[in-house]
Structure formats: C-alpha cells, structure tokens
Amino acid sequence: MKAMIFAAGLGSRLKPITDTMPKALVPIAGKPMLEHVILKLKDAGFFQIAINIHHFGEQIIDFLKANNNFGIQIYISDERDYLLDTGGGIKHAAPFLRGKEPFLVHNVDILSNIDLRKLYEKHQETNPLATLLVSKRETSRYLLFNKENNLCGWRNHETGEVKSHYPDFNPDKYSEYAFGGIHVLSPEIFDWMEEWTGKFSIINFYLSVCAKTNIQAFAAENLRLLDIGKAETLAQAEEWMK
C-alpha cells in the first residue's frame, strides 16, 4: 500500500526551532515527527511512502539515508524550488502515487490513535473519491457534511466566510467537523486534478468538486488527535508519547 507524508512545510509556528531544521525533524520523545509517522504507517502495512520536501529538505534526505529508509521504499517528492501547498504537493507526487489502489496522505505534524488500516479499508468499502478523517474538536474552520457524510461546504467562524458550490447553501443545516490532516484518496483523483496546476490547497480542491463527486467523512470513535505543528502542543506531545 502507498502513502504520502506532507513534510515540506516551513514550520512557521515552531520558530525559532525551525530556523535551523525542518518541522519534520523536530523531536518528540527523542524521535523526529517524521519517524513517528513513518513507523505508524509501516505498522499499518504501508511500505511505499512518498515524502515531499522543501524547507531544509536536504536534512530530511540525510536523515532517511542514515536510517536506511526504515526498511521501506521511500520516494522523495522534491519541492525545494517551489512549495506547492497540499493539493499541488499531491499532484507533484503523482508519478509515484498513481496506480490502481487508493493511497493515504498524512500530515507530518499530526499525532493520533487512529487505526490507519481501518480508515483505508473503510475507503475501499465505500469507494468515494476521498475519505477524510474528521472530528468534533474545537477550531475556527470547519468542513460541512450532510446526513450521508458527504462534504458540501466549509465555514470560518472567525471571519464568517462560507464556501460551497451548492446553490442557496445554508451552512446551519450541515454537520461541522474539523479535518484531521489524514485522508485516503482514490487514484481517480488525478483525473479530477487535470486542470489544476502549480500551487493549490487540497481542501479548496475538495470543495470545488464535492458537488460533482463523493468526498466522505470518517469520524472515528474515541479519536485522540494532536496537532504538534505549534509550540504550545510540543509539551503535550511529549506527554502523549510517554
């Protein structure tokens, strides 16, 4: 099974730590974030992993070499010349990710207790274009799903902004979920991305196509999830790993 890890971010929320290293190599309980995610994916049966790089990308390459790629096949999707955001990053890794099977995408700065194999198998059962891990955690920006768990829109509670391609869209009639930074995509995703070029957000892409195809929510029971891409959660992450 194939997966992709987003490791190209600038890590702005973790300065000054990321002034000298990429966010992906910031240690949690003695191991870099990237190692935690690679091992979680490997334990779930993902033995072919694409990793995109940008900020201090050569450090990530050296780290992987020093650890013999953790005994799996790793493909470096090089974005050092130009950072492509999440959607552009997935499309840039298409030469590796294309195939007949779905692939999983995982942010490097997410710790969770999600069973990745169960998420992947759920996607295979229902066969949407994408299955998004979501939860009811508090945030300012929410994805909006209908009663069938299909994505229909997005809302920012701080600014009042609403996005949807459905006519006469009323966000109050939909269930709000926070995206968990982990999703499974069908290989047909690249056909839908043909007209999308350069840098673009995968969430904006999902919102643009969800009225035409199925983007599904997966709300796991008893989910614990922590965004460790910001300084105030690093201490929480240390406790988590203990």
Provide the CA 91 distance to its chain's centre, in angstroms.
13
Signed CA dihedral, 105, 108, 110, 113: sign only: positive
pLDDT at 183: 98
Classified by CATH at the fold level, domain 2-241 comes out as Spore Coat Polysaccharide Biosynthesis Protein SpsA; Chain A (3.90.550)
Q: Output the CA–CA distances (angstroms, integers) from residue 130 to 77, 104, 144, 156, 199, in the order listed.
A: 21, 10, 15, 22, 20
The whole-chain average pLDDT of the chain stands at: 94
Whether pLDDT at 234 is above 80: yes
Read off the pLDDT band of 233 (50, 70, 90): confident
Least confident of 90-94, 160-164, 196-200, 219-223: 219-223
How far is the CA of 203 from the CAs of 23, 122, 154, 170, 206, in angstroms?
A: 21, 20, 9, 19, 5
pLDDT digits (tens, 9 = 90+) for 74-102: 999 999 999 999 999 999 999 999 999 99
Mean pLDDT of 159-186: 94
6-54 residue pLDDT tens: 999 988 888 888 899 999 999 999 999 999 999 999 999 999 999 999 9
Identity of the amino acid at 204: N
| Bridge partners for 209 per DSSP | none
Q: How confident is the model over 110-162, as pLDDT tens digits? A: 999 999 999 999 999 999 999 999 999 888 999 999 999 999 999 999 999 99
**Chain centre distance of CA 194:** 20
How is the chain split into domains, by residue range? 2-241
Query: Distance between CA 93 and CA 75 in Å, rounded?
Result: 9
Query: Taken in order 103, 107, 108, 111, is the CA torsion positive or negative?
Result: negative
Instruction: Check pLDDT > 90 for residue 220.
Output: no
Comparing C-alpha atoms, which of 93, 86, 109, 99 is closest to residue 49?
93
Q: What is the pTM of this model?
A: 0.95
Q: How far apart are CA 176 and CA 68, in angstroms?
A: 42
What number of other Cβ atoms are within 10 A of residue 139's Cβ? Answer: 15
